[in-house]
Amino acid sequence: MPDAATRPAMLRVAGLNAWYGESHVLHGVDLEVRDGEVVTLLGRNGAGKTTTMKSVMGIVGRRSGSIAFEGQETISWPSNRIARAGIAFCPEERGIFSSLDVHENLMLPPEVKPGGLSLERIFALFPNLRERLRSQGTKLSGGEQQMLAIARILRTGARLLLLDEPTEGLAPVIIQQIGETIRSLKREGFTILLVEQNFRFAATVADRHYVMEHGRVVDMIENDRLEASMDKLHDYLGV
Ligand code: ATP
């Protein structure tokens, strides 16, 4: 595989603005995710990270600017067309159906493209889910729900995964497992954009990091520069 820097952009966001009703939330977001990369969006609460993901997915009220996926402009596309192009979103609230069991939750999203992972490959990535196949959504731990939420979008055939704070509220040992999963997904060839508050975790999975403030990307840090950028990061994130 060519070096990341020379790979084509799978997702290119330029001058992206977004609104919820009258509220103008994104003010010209610029970022790029190359084929096969894991890239994070870091930033304080309210910086616009989730809204950026929802904009890529076409599920915010109004957007302007450019969101190109595999070279095609998607800014005017409805969300179902964006999903069929091969982008999947795993929301922070996970969206597991509590009255359905693990298998039913897994089978729920439609296949949008050929090339999705089979259940066997999904269980190889998430052995717990096989053991819990007939457990209802309500019976799962937070970590199992998060694994299920990620597993569910792997069946669809999407190649760009938007993961919104997958580690939130989880114990350190589960966070480690999520990290291993993300590294495996990268090895499988998935491209991942990840919202994270926890930059120590982000450093273990990502190639690059974008920092957002007040609805804009204000910095980009290569992962191997993260350690050297700690002072700056503490300022950005207020931690
Ligand atoms: P967090 O980690 O808190 O989710 P974030 O960086 O993901 O932070 P967003 O959720 O994108 O931030 O929110 C950006 C801004 O948009 C915030 O000021 C937030 O209050 C506002 N906002 C988010 N969702 C809505 C909504 N549905 N309606 C109106 N305003 C919203």
Ligand 1 cavity residues, CB under 6 Å: 20, 23, 25, 43, 45-51
Model confidence pTM above 0.85: yes
Q: Is 6 or 112 the better-scoring residue by pLDDT?
A: 112
For ligand 1, atom 20, the nearest C-alpha belongs to 46
| Burial zone of 125 (CB within 10 Å; 0-12 exposed, 13-18 middle, 19+ buried) | middle
Q: Which residues of 15-48 are buried (b: 16+ CB within 10 A; e: fewer)?
A: ebbbeeeeeebbeebebbbbbbbbbbbbbbeebb
Count Cβ atoms below 10 Å from residue 216 Cβ, excluding itself.
16
List pLDDT tens digits, range 14-43.
999 999 999 999 999 999 999 999 999 999
| pLDDT of 4 above 80 | no
**Cα(20) to centroid of ligand 1, in Å?**
9
**Cα(103) to centroid of ligand 1, in Å?**
32
The answer to whether 159 touches 189, Cβ cutoff 8 Å, is yes
Residue to mutate, 50, 55, 167, 214, ligand 1, most ligand atoms under 8 Å from C-beta: 50
**Which numbered atom of ligand 1 lies nearest the CA of 197?**
2
What is the Cα 138 distance to its own chain's centre? 24
The answer to whether 209 touches 199, Cβ cutoff 8 Å, is yes
Q: HSE (CB half, 13 Å, CA atoms) of 123?
A: 10
In the chain, % of residues over pLDDT 90: 76
| pLDDT of 2 above 70 | no
**Which numbered atom of ligand 1 lies nearest the CA of 92?**
4
The answer to whether 19 touches 25, Cβ cutoff 8 Å, is yes
Strands 38-43 and 23-34 come out as unpaired
| pLDDT of 187 above 90 | yes
List pLDDT tens digits, range 194-236.
999 888 899 999 999 999 999 999 999 999 999 899 899 889 9
**Cα(75) to centroid of ligand 1, in Å?**
20
Angle at 237 between CA 232 and CA 239, to 5 degrees: 95
Residue 190 DSSP label? -
**Cα(215) to centroid of ligand 1, in Å?**
9
Amino acid 97: pLDDT: 86
List pLDDT tens digits, range 92-122.
888 888 889 999 999 988 888 888 999 999 9
List pLDDT tens digits, range 30-82.
999 999 999 999 999 999 999 999 999 999 989 999 999 999 999 999 999 99
Q: What is the mean pLDDT of the chain?
A: 92
**Cα(47) to centroid of ligand 1, in Å?**
7
